[in-house]
Structure 1
Amino acid sequence: MFDTMTTTKIVGALCGTLLVFLLAGWASETIYKTSSGSEHNKTQAYEIAVEGEEGTEVVVDEGPAFAEVYATADVSAGEGLWRTCRACHALEAGENGTGPYLIGVVGRDVGAAEGYGYSGALTAVADVWTPENLNLFLENPKGYAPGTAMSYNGMRKIEDRANLIAYLDSLDD
């Protein structure tokens, strides 16, 4: 079907095409290369001067303080958020699961749940589970207490954390 000459022509055509593409790439790099070597020019083509630009500080809005959000927390919304926690925690005293029981956790000493073996990382960062400490822990457990055994990634919304903590606080008088 194919003789040697046809196969040689096909291979030659492929090699020639590859050579054209390589030469085109080399030529475009040479044309668009800046005078500083292989680095591309990273400055703006033009700049617009703005009056009063010097000394302007960028203010980062961190959102409302936790105390303000916690004061208006919705307990019923926190009850809905509890569903994700109950996979590892229980609300009955002394009934530990993968994590310790959480009844009475707000205001309880850190590492004081009966019958649960803590990793020790939590007691190094806080003494009492205040709403503020719980907020920081629930936001990023591994970041707040490096070495903690809790594998939860955290709650990103401050409102969700406040609602959950309010729900846990409402369970015990």
Structure 2
Amino acid sequence: MERDMFDTMTLTKALGGLCGTLLVFLLGGWVAEGIYHSGGHGHGDHAQSYTIEVASADDAAEEVDEGPAFAEVYAAASAADGESQWRACSACHALEDGVNGVGPHLYGIVGRDVAAVDGYGYSGNLIAVNDVWTAEELNAFLEKPSSYAPGTAMGYNGMRRIEDRANLIAYLATIGE
């Protein structure tokens, strides 16, 4: 008989312990909700702490400063300064006529027909963009090749500063015919 009472007592203690543990977790969740709940959207009469003002797309478009025109910058460009810009290009391109690297040679590029290097397989929409590499077209290409000619295999991200692009194009204009 004592054994049945012991088993009942043990079972009662275990069940009481589980219920007590559940009660502690429920009360802990209720207290944490009261402490950490911020109210949020539509919960109570809480005012917003602060507001971050963001310019609309129309305001951003009006504030963009295009800077000087490329023709003005190109007129003042320095071929000597452009030679230092050439180093980044020299990893894939050559200045010698007929010598292609990963990219086509750039001998006589300014004024040359687009996709005119024999034996080089051009990629993307480069062929459909323009007929001749003018200084303006080279500027647009060098700014961001993937935007100028979508699908191009050229992995270069582009040259941000218009002055650097103008100097590089001025240098390339001195190479070739």
Q: TM-score, normalised by structure 2?
A: 0.71
| 1:121 paired residue among 112, 122, 125 | 125
Matches of 1:142 and 1:169 in 2, distance apart? 23
The answer (yes or no) to whether the contact 1:34–1:41 under 8 Å persists in 2 is no
Distance change (3 Å), C-alpha of 1:35 and 1:64? same
Q: TM-score, normalised by structure 1?
A: 0.72
CA-CA distance at 1:28 after TM superposition: 4.5
Query: Which of the pair is proportionally richer in helix?
Result: 2
Distance change (3 Å), C-alpha of 1:120 and 1:33? closer
- Residue identity opposite 1:86 in structure 2: S
In structure 2, what is the equivalent of residue 32 of structure 1?
39
**1:133-157 alpha-carbon deviations (Å, 9 max, x no partner):** 1111111111110011111111111
Q: CA-atom RMSD, angstroms?
A: 3.2
Q: Does residue 64 of structure 1 match 2:71?
A: no
| 1:104 paired residue among 102, 108, 112 | 108
Gaps of 5+ in 2: 1-19, 53-60
The structure with more radius of gyration? 2
Q: Does residue 75 of structure 1 match 2:79?
A: yes
Distance change (3 Å), C-alpha of 1:43 and 1:140? same
CA-CA distance at 1:35 after TM superposition: 2.5
Secondary structure, counterpart of 2:127 in structure 1: coil
CA-CA distance at 1:116 after TM superposition: 1.2
CA-CA distance at 1:79 after TM superposition: 0.2
Gaps of 5+ in 1: 1-11, 46-56
**How many residues matched?**
148
Distance change (3 Å), C-alpha of 1:144 and 1:25? farther
Distance change (3 Å), C-alpha of 1:58 and 1:117? closer
Distance change (3 Å), C-alpha of 1:82 and 1:43? same
Distance change (3 Å), C-alpha of 1:36 and 1:108? farther
Secondary structure, counterpart of 2:128 in structure 1: coil
